[in-house]
Homo-oligomer: A and B are copies of this chain.
Amino acid sequence: MAQRAKATRYHDLDYVLLALIQAHPKISGYQLRGIINESTGYFFHAHLSQIYPSLKQLTADGFIVFDEVAREGKPDLKLYSITPAGTEAVHGWLVKPFEFKATRENEDSYFMKLILMGSLELEEIETYIDSGIEAFGTRARRLAAGDLGLELDFISDIDQLAYQRFHAIWNHELDFMVHEAKARVSWLKSLKKSLRGVS
């Protein structure tokens, strides 16, 4: 029985690295961390101790290759570039329909992925944006309808003033979430227009 290597499970980090290497060939792991944490750090961040093993794996899988630059008294500098297999892998990830969940991390993943889509076809980007318009629109409608979100029923046995304050804060928070979801929809719509202007 042929021994097949245990299938590697790729994470967002793997694809983010692949996309960044594609946008900027001959880049080091250290530089990649800089870009991830400075430019996309609000949505996504990674440590070198995650990046190095990931690059190792991606190299072993033939998605990237590196040139080694010897430097005196310092560890060799490894400058990575993407391979055709790597290009295919990122593309596959980018066009794979996004799975929406009602959490902040999930929404941030959506925006992270969008940031990396510059080299796709316009149609592909628009399909992705449309999926976001639908998801955030649905969310805004549900929140506004009170189907989900903040409920105060559980508060009991505390004084009336505290109850009213909880109420004021939670209601306000709910309004804000609705507002935010709506703002995202209109943001995505205006991005679509901008991209049409570019093509």
Contact = CB atoms under 8 A, between A and B. Distances in A.
Given A43-B104, A103-B41, A183-B183, A118 B163 contact: yes
A159 B158 CA distance: 63
Contact of A172 (B117, B164, B167, B190): B190
Given A176-B187, A180-B183, A151 B42 contact: no
A108 interface: yes
Interface string A150-190: 11001111110111111111101100110110010001001
A115 B173 contact: yes
Interface residues of A, number: 64
B42 A104 contact: yes
Interface stretch (A62-70, A88-96, A191-199): A191-199
A118 B165 contact: yes
26 contacts: A20-B154, A23-B155, A23-B162, A23-B166, A25-B156, A38-B148, A39-B154, A40-B150, A41-B103, A42-B149, A45-B103, A111-B173, A115-B150, A118-B162, A118-B163, A119-B158, A119-B162, A119-B166, A125-B165, A164-B198, A168-B197, A168-B198, A172-B191, A172-B194, A179-B187, A180-B180
